[in-house]
Structure 1
Amino acid sequence: MGLDPLGIPRELARETVTFPAGEARAEAQFDLPPELRNRITRFQIVGESTAGSVSLAGDSLRRREIALIDGGGAAREGLELLAPTHYLQQALEPSADLIGGTLADILLADPDAIIMADVARVTETESDALLDWISDGGLLIRFAGPRLAASEEGRGVMDPLLPVRLRAGGRSVGGAMSWGEPKALQPFPESSPFHGLPLPGDVTVRAQVMAEPDPQLTENTIAALEDGTPLVTARRSGQGQVILFHVTANAEWSSLPLSGLFVQMMERLALATRPAAPEAADLEGTIWVAERRLDAFGALQEAGDLPGIPGARMADPVLAPDLPPGIYASGDRRLAVNAVAADRALVPATWPASVAVEGGEARAELPLQGPLLALALALLLVDILASLLLAGRLSRLRRGGAAVSVALALLLIVPQGLRAQETADTLALRASSEVVLGHVMTGDAQVDRVAAAGLKGLGDVLYRRTSVEPGAPMAVNLETDDLAVFSFLYWPVTPDQPAPTPNAYLKLNRFLHTGGMILFDTRDADVAGFGAASPAGRKLQALAAPLDVPPLEPIPEDHVLTRTFYLLQDFPGRYQGRGIWVEASAAGAEQAEGMPFRNLNDGVTPVVIGGNDWAAAWAVDDRGLPMFPVGRGFAGNGSARSPIASASIW
């Protein structure tokens, strides 16, 4: 996992790990380009949301980006070994990403380090930009050479792009100074980044540029010859550093580039730009502050006001309340503290037989509102009776004991009625406060289930593709529910469903007169045409007879439904077998000038009748997958879906 250019966490790569039989360890290799590798912030087990399944990455995985600038230009063909940057490339390629180009382009790339091989002069603009980059934490490494030795850079006056002043004069053809015998190196001091590296006996120096004696020269020297002459000098500049090798980067002045010591020195400097896993000695005297904290679910949260952690504890961190897993910062360095260390072995927990081991399943909630309310009312009644008894008034109520018993029973029944009223009010409030699609209950459990699933699937698509955000669909009981809170009802017709009562028909007619819309679906377009040719068609005629339905006609080509969402020719559901009937157009409607349709009052038709089984076409299960095949032929056994056409009808 890592951040994209916009700072959004993204999955950068995924690998499958296979554990050999009987093994508790397995390895996975990720081969990523440098651009992606440098963005890695964590490794995570897919499908697990725990702190133990996450391994955070601080600065440990990022390869350093180092720029090489050759003051002598490109090497001629066949003379690559004489190029100032040849040995630098060989030494740094295994541990860093190398880039090239002009100094202006390189500064735009903001590398971790810039190496200038025998570059004598830079323009004033480039010098200012380079100094700003160093002050922000950049590492500038310079190598001497004939051009630097012949220039006046660093002579007399301190050059901000050099760690020390250079001595003028005394130069030979091969360098600034020559000896009768080449000089070897002396052991590196403890303050040097090269401390501890073994010194090969064959590394000698034949020529070099000399440093001007200075009170700070010894402090700035990180490598010297056996006679004490500085070989490598360094100086802090802001948050960055300037380092000068007083010899060339090729074998012209010394044998250092030909040795393994040169590779080790370059690796030390590359790692010094951003230490990966610092040792205890490197962390002494530092304070680390938590930037992000890893919670129990493996997500990074704001760290809050946690105290700073001394560097000695960060060398081998032990999790504690003041040292939770997360990302810690000290200056421009970042360290990751994980919930599970890399060397920690995970073994199954063993519990004593007396300890009950329970899973993480949540227990089902037990509703106590009703019983507690009934108990409170019962206690209130007991309190009233006790008060009457103490006041001497209970004797007159003994003759009315039956009445008291009835009153108590009524009190105990009240909570159930209250809950029923509360449920009805809650449903009505939800239906009136948001767009809710309703389906008329038919009494057939399977048909009602498909109708609800179809409205849910339609609502999901409306939410994704339009500005409509419908709530969960509701089953509508025509006898008890208030239809005024709905704007649309889907009515699947079954041959055996009971006819509504006269009171229900009054509510239905009021619903149609006030702008409501009913979609009747006989769901039989695969076997019957419109009319009484099927049991569902005959049932529809009986159900619609008491309704105040306007005159109907087959949907014309210029009806508003044919151009509401897209230009449509038909309206398939699960089946595509017959026409759709809507309210008839007004007589005498004429085609509008310059328009392909008539000048109609495109109001909402109160009734739409069809039989293409639209609910089954849209029905989805709990996983959001289609419940029924939709597509070719009348059998609906294909795989294609026609969501746009169905959406317009809905």
Structure 2
Amino acid sequence: MLVLGPIGFAAPWVLTALIALPVLWLILRAMPPAPRRVLFPGVALLQGLTDRDPVAQRTPWWLLLLRMMAIAALVLGLAGPVWKPVAQADLDDALLVILDAGWAAAPDWSIRQERAESALKAANSKGKPAALLIADGRNDRAALSFDTGQALLGQVRGAQPVAWPTTYPADPEEVLANLPDGRLTTLWISDGLDHPGHDQWQSTLIERGELRVFAPSVRPVTLALSEADEPTLLLRNAPQDNVPEIVAIGPDPQGIERELARFRGDGPNVVEDGNQRAIPIAMPPELRNRVSRFEIDGQRHAGAVLLADDRVRRRKVGLVGDADNQGEGQQLLSPLFYLRRALAPGADISEGGLGDVLDAAPDVVIVADQVDMADAPQLSEWVEEGGILIRFAGPRMAAYEDLTAEPLLPVDLRQGGRDIGGALSWGDPRGLLPFAADGIFAGLEAPADVAIRAQLMAQPSPELSQRTIASLSDNTPLVTRQRLGQGQVVLFHVTANPDWSNLPLSGAFVKMLERLVAMARVSNDLTAIDQGAETFWTPISTLDGFGRTTSIDGLAPVAGEELDAGPGPDRPAGIYGASERRRALNAGGPVTTARWGNAQIEQDDADPGMFLRGYLLGLAAILLAFDALGSALVVRGGRIAVLAILLALMQPATETRAQDGVMPDPELVRAADEVALAYVLTGDPATDQTSQEGLAGLSFALRQRTSVEPGEPIGIDLDNDDLALLTFLYWPVTDDQPAPSPGAYLRLNHFLRSGGMILFDTNDGDVAGVGGPDMSQALRRLAAPLEIPPLAPVPEDHVLTRTFYLLGDFPGRWDGNPVWVEAPPAREDSADPVGFRQLNDGVTPVVIGANGWAEAWAIDDGGYARFPVGRGWEGERQREMAFRFGINLIMYVLTGNYKSDQVHVPELLDRLRIEEGGGP
């Protein structure tokens, strides 16, 4: 690029055409040769005549200047001028492009690729060798090979950010071993963060030549989890003026991933500390345990995703034991007191009898010194379905005569127990053996001061060693467990209070319970423990640099100490499992801005300068147009032509209207002609496809069962399409759906006033429960500008219940949710509402529900259902009722509520009977 003062030229060679301007000026100014004087007597007859339209002897100066200016503007425009352009690196030497490829580079990855491509193309045009270093840590020992810039473009276009921080090779000299002779120009496309080896690479590159840095203007917004007892979301680097929200995502009851909750980054309970905001996870345990990930709304990189593991999920724990309400002094003797204090920070606790606790659907049930329980069969069934039962021994269990027949014990027990440190015993209290490295308590420290004074002894058996997960110093079992169906039974051979040991007074007791509770509902496969796989973590699911789930092919198990170091090339961000435990390796965390010293910085949001090409070419076109007008002024009839053009330009502009002859969209004409069902385009491809397939299925049912033969459904763009030709509109409501323009709302209100109907479907019937149409925030936002009358649930005598089929409810893919229509007016002289049957032939303009009708109607190209509905025969019957509701709805739209007249048949018959018989 040639820079002349504040103006740069992308194609400076075009400026050589300006040399021709003086020559062109001389050509245009040239005069014809002087005429020769020849005496001719007949010329005397022409004396006194005048030429009213003389031909000019030379071009007028103003027209000549106009043409010169037009040609100069054209030449300058073709030269690609830029006002105050960003200075580019002079590629007089070899070029090295370093492309940071960590997760922090994902938000503006396409811009980084474009910058790298432009630098490589510039090097290729100048014939300079170039090399590309993608800093993802995968090939950090191979020496770079310098090639043409064109040969490296494929690598740039195929590169993708990774789900770990940018990683540089350890030895810059080794990587630059193949550097050509001479100096090196480096373009470092940085993610703006400081990484290990950054300073060493920077100093090495500055010694080799010029270093230019293309860096982002802001740091990425990240999401992490606090290490406190109560998990808290940590939002870092969020802008103060526009704090993003955090979305909790997980499977719904049908197993479909969807948004479960949303947290404000500037809510009332948020604690702000510098550039960090602590956001509590305020969710019901049932919903919180289904969360698989948290995401920062609007951010698309792995650092904005927080995968949920065992630390996030709060278990529901049911406590069963003797009541401890005798008094403050007696409470300290109750086992439930110590269990409650140990579990309260990380679990939701419910207490009561065994039957009451099971009714609360807990994840873990803890029973303290209880035998011969009345609800043991129900408890056994609950464990086999996946529950975790933790039992504690005690005096009652030790004295139970039929202890060998007691169900739900992991091992056979001896009656009477063992008194180790009593007055009549021969030994001292026993301590704890270190926990096994491949067990559920791996990593926990066995306190040396824990003393066990009494315990219930297990009968010797070949399985005893496999079922023991914690032992005393004499190798007798302290904690045993056994798998039962899909669940587990765990037994502490000591009491939950200090009667038999001081274990409940130690921190190890709390951590042991946390480990046992954390494995509830996560994994019940004990094979990994028996094989000693606890020290290695196997990847279960991983992310890419954009925060999307990707394949785990080629990844090997990772040692626990490596996971502590954070994500890396062989351990991307994701979920890793070891036996029952799940651990999330997240990319988000504290970040440090890189410092660049004497390097030249290019900001990604820097003003690239004002491109003047379009302005100059437009000016040239205008000047040439004026040249045409000026030429017309000096030729015959030119004045009349110019006058006509000016008069045409001075005519006032008229608004083009549809009634003035502009034809509407052919698709809308077809929809009106074929009675095609219409749906609103939301911008979400999956939702729009479901709407199209759903209305296609409903149209097929209408053609098969009624005289209505709809055409193919049509998608409606509310901002551009005319609704005057439509009668029915299906509107699926999504959370991210943008609101239509004000003009679209004007058309929608006119559509409703002129007899049209909109079916709003929030499709959240599986989570919304019973409520009104205001339960969906997205629906309230989208429907607020519409002129919607007061609404009420569909009454039993509404025409919609009998338009074609007799219906009692209106299911879709979901069932049990109310459907809302226009409320009937109330009598002026009575508080009782008037039945809908007495309205003046009015059809409700809107129908609102959450049952997901389009998914129930949707069929594929073969005519098969696209989405499951319920289970077995009941599900197919529900789908049939959904089709019947759709047919009733369309018949109601097309025919009005004419069937409401049938309710007057009994009164009419009574009147006829009176008139004919003369009395009642």
Shorter-chain TM-score bucket reads: 0.3 to 0.5
TM norm structure 1: 0.48
TM norm structure 2: 0.35
